[in-house]
Every structure is written in structure tokens, then in C-alpha cells.
Amino acid sequence: MDEALIRSLIPGVLGILVRRGADFAAAEDAVQDALVEAVRTWQDDPPRDPKGWLVAVAWRRFLDTTRADAARRRREDHVEAEPAPEPGPSSDDTLQLYFLCAHPSLTPSSAVALTLRAVGGLTTRQIAQAYLVPEATMAQRISRAKRTVSGVRFDQPGDVATVLRVLYLVFNEGYSGDVDLAAEAIRLTRQLAAAIDHPEVAGLLALMLLHHARRATRTAPDGGLVPLAEQDRGRWDTALIAEGVEILQAALARDRLGEFQAQAAIAALHADAVDAAETDWPQIVEWYDELARLTGSPVVRLNRAVAVGEADGPRAGLAALAELDDSLPRYSAVAAYLHERDGDLATAARLYAEAAQKAANLGEREYLTRQAARLNARRG
């Protein structure tokens, strides 16, 4: 059984049920029931028309559930009066489903969970394992999300930017449990790009591919973090890099710059350098200027300070850093790096230790602690 094929059909199948009058929550449950049946029967007897089979089974499950609920009798009469759904072009349905699952009324965590379940076709157990929460907790989160959007019309305009932020949240989770969320985010973004011609969708896809190309080199065998400058570039996935650059160039040519295109341009410049010393830092600073203009994000300006330090020297980087709030995440780590570059090892060691105490995860904390110990050993 081709699991990837089944999951790619889910948005279209779910869209057909909703357009035929099914409530979103009930339609999603019916599609999940159809998927369970597909897993049970397709191995021995695969259908010639997988999408048609899923639509027929999901529609039948929806009608069975509707009939069993006397309170929905009027809705059942309306639904049964509709002609039987026929599979057909569903790019619009797919796009509307992305919009619905990333509806502004949902919290980011709920939007992520609902997108993975309704668009991605993952089971509640898989999503719970990926986010390291109990399955019952994730089931409640998904159920609440479905209730929240159940009254939203399927043909209402959606916000592409919100969908992209949700997909980027999925991508940044990486790998956990038995689901590779980074790969899943790439798959869903490819699917979105096929449904809508939008330069920022292409920009996000390019960004994901360029980051994913470096994945194998980001951690050492012991699990420790490996910074970009120290990664083995010979192990980067050149095919993903080439695809990402091609997608990015086509998006930039449309002259509708957005934040994901700017981020992808920075990633492409890193990927283009044969080693860290050959990185085009002045051009990266220019892209950070564009990104700061687009987003107004202090985190972007923090990363820009690092780029300025590489392009114009550590003191220029420290001057750029001094303009920012020192309570920003990673501020101390950036300051430590720039002070080390400037030769002030005592200050750098102190700041690395301070940054380690504030680190958001164990891998980052251990890396920063090692940096502090390394500088203290040099000074000693």
C-alpha cells in the first residue's frame, strides 16, 4: 500500500465532503475512518481509483453517522438530496483546507495539530509522539480545533501568510517519534505550491529545502550541535540545494519580495560558499536589511549583528548589537561570539556561561557550556 499516495489524496477527499454539505469535524472523522479501512483492505485488493474509493467510503461513513443522530435529521435530508460526489479537480478544495486548518481563530499549536491531521493525514498518535505529549492531550487539542472552525464557510478567503507560518512551525520541529516533521512540512509545502501560484509559498519551500540540505551535518555523533561554520559541506545534499536555489530564483524574478524569500536568499548564500571563509557576508547583511524592513523583527536584527560582525569586523557587530534589547533570546550567545572574535576572552567566557543558563534546549546549553569551558581553559 502506498501510504504517501493515500495521504496526498486526503485534502481533495475531505474537500469534496465539505463542499457537499458535511460539517468539517464530521467530514474529517469520516475521512479518517476511510483511511483505516484503506489500510485494512488495500494491501490485498487495491482499488483502481484510490481517490474515488476514499470518497465513496468516507461519504458512506458520514451518512451512517448522520442517520444515527436524530438531532441531525434535517441535515441528513439535505445531504441525501445532493448528488453523489464525484472525484474531480480539487486544487481549490486543497487550498481552502489549508486556510481552514490555519484559521486565525486557532492558536498556533492547534493550527499545527489540525493541519497535520486533516491535511497531512497523520494519526493523532503520530502527532502526539512528534510533539512529546500524551495522545489524549493531542486528541483534545484536535477536537477543540475542529469545533472552533466547524462554522467557518469553506469558500471564505484565507490568509496565505498564516498558512506559511504554520508550516514553518512544523518544519522547525525536525524529527521526533516515528514522524519526520521536517520532511512532512516539505511535502505539505510542495502540495500547497501545486495548489497556488504564490512567490512566498515558493520562498518557504526553497528555504526548507536549503535548510534540510544541511540536516545531516548539524549534529555530531554524540548529539552535540555543530555550528554552520564547522559543518562538513561535502555532506550537504547538493540536489536539494540546487532545487532550492532554482525555486528561489524563479520566485525572486517575480519582484514580490517577502520574508521567506529573503530568508531563503540568505540560506542560498551560505550554501553557495565552498567553505565558511568564502561566505559573501556583505550581501548577507544586505538581505538582513531587507528582512528587517519586511518584518521589523528584533530577532532578525540580532542575526544581522552577527553578519555585520563577519562583514565589517567584530566591533562593528558589537555596535549593531548594542542597539538591541539585551533580554532577547540568544543575545548573550551572540555577544559572546563577537567578544571572542574581538579577542576579549574573559568577557566572552562569561557571556557564554550566561547564555548557557538561558538556553532553550539541552543541545544548545551543552554547546554553550563547552564554549565557556574552552575559553576558560585558554585563559588558564
Residue 19's SS3 state is helix
Q: Angle at CA 39, nearest 5°, toward 36 and 41?
A: 105
Query: Which pLDDT score is estimated for 144?
Result: 93
Q: Mapped to the 3 state alphabet, what secondary structure does 220-273 carry? A: CCCCCECCHHHCCHHHCCHHHHHHHHHHHHHHHCCCCCCHHHHHHHHHHHHHHC
CA–CA dist 106, 52 (Å, integer): 31
Cell digits for 297?
523583527
Q: What is the pTM of this model?
A: 0.85
Q: What is the mean pLDDT of residues 350-373?
A: 94
Q: How many Cα neighbours within 13 Å face the side chain of 164?
A: 20
pLDDT digits (tens, 9 = 90+) for 115-158: 999 998 888 998 998 888 899 999 999 999 999 988 787 766 67
Name the band, by pLDDT with cuts 50, 70 and 90, for residue 86.
very low
Dihedral of CA atoms 86, 88, 91, 95 in degrees, nearest 10, equals 0
Indicate the residue type of 151.
G
The better pLDDT of the pair 341, 178 is held by 341
pLDDT digits (tens, 9 = 90+) for 266-305: 999 999 999 999 999 999 999 999 999 999 999 999 999 9
The proportion of the chain whose per-residue pLDDT surpasses 70, expressed as a percent, equals 91
Q: Angle at CA 239, nearest 5°, toward 238 and 245?
A: 85
pLDDT digits (tens, 9 = 90+) for 163-176: 999 999 999 886 65
Lowest-pLDDT range of 83-92, 152-161, 228-237, 270-279: 83-92
Dihedral of CA atoms 239, 188, 183, 32 in degrees, nearest 10, equals -140
The better pLDDT of the pair 162, 379 is held by 162
Nearest to 12 by CA among 113, 80, 85, 108: 85
The better pLDDT of the pair 287, 18 is held by 287
Query: Which pLDDT score is estimated for 8?
Result: 84
Q: Mean pLDDT of all residues in the chain?
A: 89
Name the band, by pLDDT with cuts 50, 70 and 90, for residue 77.
low
pLDDT digits (tens, 9 = 90+) for 24-60: 899 999 999 998 888 888 887 889 999 999 999 999 9
Length of the chain: 380
Angle between helices 298-312 and 331-341 (to 10 degrees): 10
